[in-house]
Structure 1
Amino acid sequence: MRVDFYQLSRDPAEAALPLLARATLKAGERMLVVSGDAAQLERIGQALWSLPESFLANGRVGEGGEERQPILLSDRPDPRNGARFLAITDGIWREGETPFARTFFLFDDHTVAGARDVWRLLRQREGAERHYWKQEGGRWIEAG
């Protein structure tokens, strides 16, 4: 299990998530995007559909056809689309019944304390690989 911690400083989750989603699809994987904030999920869905280069198809749990969606938006870590990659965009840690192969954990200044707790929790978990990313000059760089 790999967890990538993304500290949002300049851009909100709806700006950062499309880059992660595009890379996920290029790797031949599906993504489940989880947030308890319905308005944030709406903004993320719109951002995925309106990328300048090409849209990233996505749908929401409850709209039907979840199993066909390459990117599924939900309020819980239940991969009805068969996703092995999870993106948590509201900074509140959740895990599914079965561990995801890779989790992108996006957090900001308001949720940084919880992210630190998750970092410490995962340090003790066997097989958990942790990576920390931050924005610097408009780019994501891996830090420490």
Structure 2
Amino acid sequence: MQVDFYHLTQLPIERALPRIAERVLAGGERLLIVAGDERQRAALDRLLWEYAPESFLPHACVGAGDDAMQPILIAPDVNAANAARHVALVDGEWRDEALTFERAFHFFDEDRIGDARAAWKALAGRDGVERRYWKQNEAGRWEQAA
């Protein structure tokens, strides 16, 4: 299982998440997006419809339709009703339930850096967990730092 830590320093989640979602779908996979805050989930729902005119990211919020059919499902917790094997934790909060997925994307900003460091350290000793740390350079491009 792979956990990618994405430290948001230049670009907000609204710019980073759609690109990750596009890559997951292009690989034939499904994605679960987790945000505890209802307002953030509603904003992400709008974002995935509107972020780029040439793009289409089929998705829904939990309970808005047939959750099992959704390529991308936005949820308040780590429950892959859409059978996703990839999870994006977008509210800065690490959840150990993400370790049941093939790949987890943990997004955090400066406000949650302490929590992210604690999660990084806690995962260091776990068998079968590969950790990668991505940071943004001044141009906003992702660079693997660890």
TM-score normalized by structure 1?
0.95
Partner deviation per Cα, 1:10-41 (whole Å, 9 max, x = no partner): 22212210000000001110000001122221
Q: Shift in Å at residue 52 of structure 1?
A: 2.3
Which structure has the highest helix share of the two?
Answer: 2
| One-letter amino acid of the structure 1 residue matched with residue 56 of structure 2 | F
Q: Shift in Å at residue 97 of structure 1?
A: 8.0
List structure 1 runs of 4+ shifted beyond 2 angstroms: 95-98
Q: What is the RMSD computed on CA atoms of the aligned residues? A: 1.3
> Is 2:87–2:98's contact at 8 Å kept on the other side of the alignment?
no
Counterpart CA distance in 1 for 2:86 and 2:103 is 5
Give the match for residue 103 of structure 1.
104
Which residues of structure 2 form unaligned runs of 5+? none
Percent identity at matched positions? 44
| One-letter amino acid of the structure 2 residue matched with residue 15 of structure 1 | R
Q: Shift in Å at residue 95 of structure 1?
A: 3.1
**Distance change >3 Å, CA 42–CA 26, structure 1 → 2:** same
| One-letter amino acid of the structure 2 residue matched with residue 36 of structure 1 | G
Which residues of structure 1 form unaligned runs of 5+? none
Which of 124, 141, 144 lines up with 1:142 in the alignment?
144
Of residues 44-53 and 133-142 in structure 1, the stretch that sits farther from structure 2 once superposed is 44-53
Figure out how many residues of one structure are paired with residues of the other and give that number: 144
Counterpart CA distance in 1 for 2:30 and 2:135 is 24
Q: Shift in Å at residue 96 of structure 1?
A: 2.7
Alignment of 1:11-90 (within 5 A): 11-50=11-50, 51-90=52-91
